[in-house]
Structure formats: C-alpha cells, structure tokens
Chains A and B, each alone.
Chain A
C-alpha cells in the first residue's frame, strides 16, 4: 500500500523538477548545445552571412595552420596568460596576506584595491592610454625623474603586451577580496596550535596559511586562465580592432572576431572557436589533474 503512494510523490516531484528547470533546459539546448554542435558543422563549411556556404571538409583547419596571424595570435594570447595569471595570483595572495595581518584600516585598503575593478574596461583603456602616453604620460614623466628613458608602451611591439598586463593587474581587486575571505575562513585553532609549538611567521605561512588557501588559488587559477585566453575588450579597444603595432596586440579572440564579423568568414572563425574550445578543455584538464599534487582540502588527508 505504501509503495504506489511513494511513486506518486516521486512522479509529482519529477514533474515539478522539469517545470522549475524548464527555462534552463531550453536555454541549455538553445544557447549552448545547439550552437556548440552547429559551430562544429560551420567549421567545415565556407559559411558567411551573405552566402550560405558549402561543405569544404577540413579546408578551414588546413588554412588556419598555415595562417601566420593565427599563430601570432596564439603566441600573444599564451604570452598574456602565462605572465598575467601567475603574477595576478602572487600579487593578489600577497596583498591579501598583508591585509589579513589584522592591521587598522583594513576596510579602507580593501576598498582602495577593489575600486579599480569596478571601472568599465573602456574607461580603463582611456585612463591607461593617457597614463602610458609616450610623450605626455605620467608614467614616462616619473621614469624620467629617476633617470630612465620610458618606452613607447602601447606604441611598441615589445611593450604593448606588458602594458596590457599592467592594466589588467590594476583590476585585480576582486580576487584580493576572494583570497581575503579564504584567509579568514582558516580556523584559528591551527594558529593557536602552531603558537604552542613555537612556529614562526614563515613556518605558519608555509605549513598552515598557504596550504589551506590552495583551494581558493586553484579556483582563481582555473577561472583566471579561462578568462585570460578570452582576452578581448582591452586589446580590441586599445587598438580599435587593429592589433597594432605589428600584430603584437592581435589576441586569439580578436582574430576570431575579425575573421567572423570583419571579413565575414564565419566558417573559418568557427574553426578557430573550436580550437579555442580544445585549448580551454586541455588546459583546464591539466590544472585539474595537477590539483592532486598541490591542492589541499580541509577534512581530507
């Protein structure tokens, strides 16, 4: 007698489950699954908005591998990712550690570090274009004061990417807030025990604080890497979509956008999108695999 009643409840719950999640089920199909599959299909065609295009097999991929700018854009994107992500983690964790020393004015400092991350990217580029102006910019003025000849920054093939890294570091405040909360989650007991054992600051940092912060660092590493590979708005608006000088600012997604919406080569751009997808999947998987070696979860040995 009890059993059929239970299945009725289960059936009712299944119905409600579908009703509640219906928008997302549709959203997943319409805006994620369908486009993901279509993007594979388009990558094998010569589709453009004006022309329905035809099946070209692997031609887009073959052309891509011989496309010089494609490789330049991969180089630029990896350059940015490899420098920006680790620097932002060290910078963010370092500042959070100091803020966590229970010093006075913590809230004030936190707000100060956080504010730039609220500035819209276009406004960020305007501010930094002016600061890094080779002739009249504040930065080069200061460098001159200490006897250094400032570079041309965004006008230089070699300094353009470091400039973008600098600008991106300016907006690193959100991750400081995350690290700080992570630090405040570490139970005081551990530190009390360390005090009893007579551990000094360095030992506490090495054996308690940093290991217990690794899950947060792990999260930021994954999200930071995925974000860095998609870097678009800063280099695009800084160079008005040109990627100048000498393609040194042509990032992967910018080239994808230029192909798809500038030259209307949407099949070609879809092939690029799929390669980006693979790169993201592989890098994320590598980071996930590496976590066994360095990420420490509380409650597990």
Chain B
C-alpha cells in the first residue's frame, strides 16, 4: 500500500514537471508579447534579451492605436461580427429545428447535405461567390462578409441539430395536442431550451468574424473599410521593425477574445467538446 502511494506520488511529480515544461512552450510567447509591448525602443535589440523592461512604456499602447485609424477598423469589425452573429442566430436554430424536430421527408437528405457541405473547402466556391457578389455590385462593401450568415452555416446547424435531437419528444407532442402552432412551439418552448447552445454558436461566429483574414482580404480594398485584422497586417508590413508597437497592437486585438473566453468559459469548452465528440 505504501509503495503504491509513493509510486503515485512520483508519477504525479513527473506529470507536473512535464506539463510545466510544455506549458512554457504555450505560455512564454504570450509573456514575451506583453513584455515587448511595454519596452522602450532601445531595449528591443538587446543581447541577451531582457524579460522585464527597464522602463515600462505604457504609451506604446495609445501610440499604436493612434498610428492607424484603429477605432475606424474596430467599428468596421464590430459591424461585420455583429451582423454575422445575428445572422447565424436567426437562421441556424430555425434550420436545425426543421431538420431535427419536424417529421418530414426532407430532413434526412438535408442533414446529409449539411454534413457534406461542412467538409467542402471554402476555396472551392470562393471564386464563383466572388463573381456573384461582384454582379450585385457588393464587392468593396462588407455585405459579402455577413449576408451569407443569414442563410445558415453548416457547422452550427450540425451542432444545434445534435442539441435538438437530445431533447425529449414529449415536449412538442404535448404542445401540439394543446393546439400550439409549430412556430409557437419553436419560439416559445424549443428556443429558450437551447440558450447555452445558442451562446456557443454566437461566440464561435463572433470570434470567427473577428479573426477572419481571408474574407476581408478578398472583398475589402478601400482602407476606410478595413477590419482590424487587415489593418494589423498592413501595419505590420509598413512598420516591420517597430516590434513594441506591433506587440501592443497584438495584445489589443487578442485581449477582447481572452476576456470573452473567461466570461463564458463553460459554454465555450462545452461547444468545442460537443463539436468533437457527439
């Protein structure tokens, strides 16, 4: 018994040592980002590198924001992220409900198509969709970046469908007997029940739009319409060696996501595990 206990203890110590070692790989770049973002420019190229800046230059942050029209980029990004999130919140639960809970012939083939589309690379349809939007005269505006969300996104439909499938069938049967209309059952009973799943997809979509680079790169050319990610990349190209500014900007674009993560950590983790396991 005693030797078993000490074996367990050694095993745990080894595990901690290993986790800390690997943890450094994940953590140090973070710390280095924050540390660099607070350095005066004459400490950037010191050899050996300095972990704690001799002087904390907080002004790097307002400076990097003032370097570019940051708040303009922020407004553009928030508009796109907000509308796209609204779009998936409107369309995806509606469609998922129609697939999972309405007994009709189309639900199975539609679900199969959803799964297939989920694996379809974005780039395969990228060019025809671009030409389509071009014909509408929407290239150069942010419309192509949020409008498709109102027609549903395969991954979220899949996620919500799995969620709806897990609810007991008696719910709508009872409501139907009571004479409630289908829309009422959906809006009044089902939708409130899937709030946690809705929060998850809202979070994923918001983050997806916030960090998206390829979409804005294709559709936006006018600098006044740039998103934060396009702006950051342009900033990087123009001021390649001003690492303290670049790091301050990087911290600023990462921070909102990390804060969001800590606020809704549970639905976040649930969403990710749900997507991978069920």
Give residues in A with beta carbon < 8 Å to B.
10, 13-14, 16-21, 23-28, 30-32, 34-36, 38-39, 42, 47, 49, 95, 98-99, 101, 103-105, 109, 112-113, 115-116, 118-123, 125-128, 130-131, 136, 138, 141, 170, 173-175, 177-178, 180-182, 185, 215-216, 219-220, 222, 226, 229-230, 232-233, 236-237, 240, 253, 256-257, 260-261, 266, 269-270, 273-274, 276-277, 280, 284
Task: Report the Cα distance A161→B93, complex, angstroms.
Answer: 40
Whole-angstrom CA separation of A17 from B108 in the bound complex: 11
A interface footprint on B211-236 (CB within 8 Å = 1, 0 otherwise): 10110001000000000010011001
Measured between beta carbons, the chain A residues less than 8 angstroms from B104 are 10, 13-14, 16-18
Beta-carbon contact of B30 and A284 below 8 Å: no
Contact A38 B254 (CB under 8 A): no
Q: Are A23 and B150 in contact (CB under 8 A)?
A: yes
Q: By the criterion CB–CB under 8 Å, are A118 and B261 in contact?
A: yes
Q: Are B124 and A181 in contact (CB under 8 A)?
A: no
A122 touches B232 (CB 8 A): yes
Flag if B102 contacts A31 (CB, 8 Å).
no
Q: Are A266 and B121 in contact (CB under 8 A)?
A: no
B120 within 8 Å of A (CB atoms)? yes
Contact call B129/A35, Cβ cutoff below 8 A: yes
Complexed CA–CA distance, A28 and B128 (Å): 14
A270 to chain B, nearest CB (A): 5
Asked whether B210 is an interface residue with its Cβ less than 8 Å from the other chain, the reply is: yes
User: Which of B33, B119, B128 counts the most A-chain CB atoms under 10 A from its CB?
Assistant: B128
Known: A16-B102, A130-B36. A136 touches B258 (CB 8 A): no
27 contacts between A and B (CB under 8 A): A14-B104, A16-B98, A17-B107, A18-B106, A21-B94, A26-B151, A32-B120, A36-B128, A38-B131, A39-B128, A49-B131, A113-B22, A113-B26, A115-B258, A116-B26, A118-B207, A120-B229, A120-B253, A120-B257, A122-B229, A127-B247, A178-B272, A229-B121, A232-B123, A237-B213, A269-B127, A277-B124
Judge whether B2 is part of the interface by a CB distance below 8 angstroms. no
Give me the interface of B with A, judged by CB distance under 8 Å. 11-12, 15-16, 18-19, 22-23, 25-30, 32-33, 36, 44-45, 47-49, 90-91, 94-95, 97-99, 102-107, 110, 113-114, 117, 119-132, 134, 148, 150-152, 157, 182, 186, 207, 210-211, 213-214, 218, 229, 232-233, 236-237, 243, 246-247, 249-250, 253-254, 257-258, 261, 269, 272-273, 275-277
- Distance from A109 Cβ to chain B, minimum over Cβ atoms (Å): 5
The contact of A276 among B19, B124, B232, B277, by CB within 8 Å, is: B124
A31 contacts B129, CB within 8 Å? yes
Q: A16-B104, A120-B257, A127-B32 are in contact. Are A230 and B121 (CB under 8 A)?
A: yes
Given known A24-B151, A269-B127, contact A141–B47 (CB-CB < 8 A): yes
Q: Is the CB of B258 within 8 A of A17?
A: no
Indicate if the CB atoms of A115 and B186 lie closer than 8 Å: no
In the complex, residue of chain A having the shortest beta-carbon distance to the beta carbon of B122: A230
Question: Contacts A21-B98, A233-B214 hold; do A126 and B246 have CB atoms under 8 A apart?
Answer: yes
User: Is there an interface contact between A21 and B182, defined as CB atoms closer than 8 Å?
Assistant: no
Report the bound CA distance from A94 to B273 in whole Å: 17
Give the complex CA separation of A21 and B123 in angstroms.
Answer: 25
In chain A, what residue has the closest Cβ to B91? A23
What 7 A-B pairs have minimum CB-CB distances, sorted nearest first? A20-B98, A27-B151, A17-B104, A178-B276, A181-B273, A35-B128, A35-B125
Q: Which residues of B contact A277 (CB under 8 A)?
A: 120-121, 124
Q: How far is the CA of A274 from the CA of B125 in the complex (A)?
A: 9
User: Which residue on B lies nearest to A269, using beta carbons?
Assistant: B127
Contacting residues, chain B, for A21 (C-beta < 8 A): 94-95, 98-99, 106-107, 110
Other A-B pairs beyond A25-B110, A39-B128, A123-B250, 10, CB < 8 Å = A35-B126, A36-B124, A103-B12, A112-B26, A120-B211, A126-B236, A138-B32, A180-B273, A226-B119, A266-B127
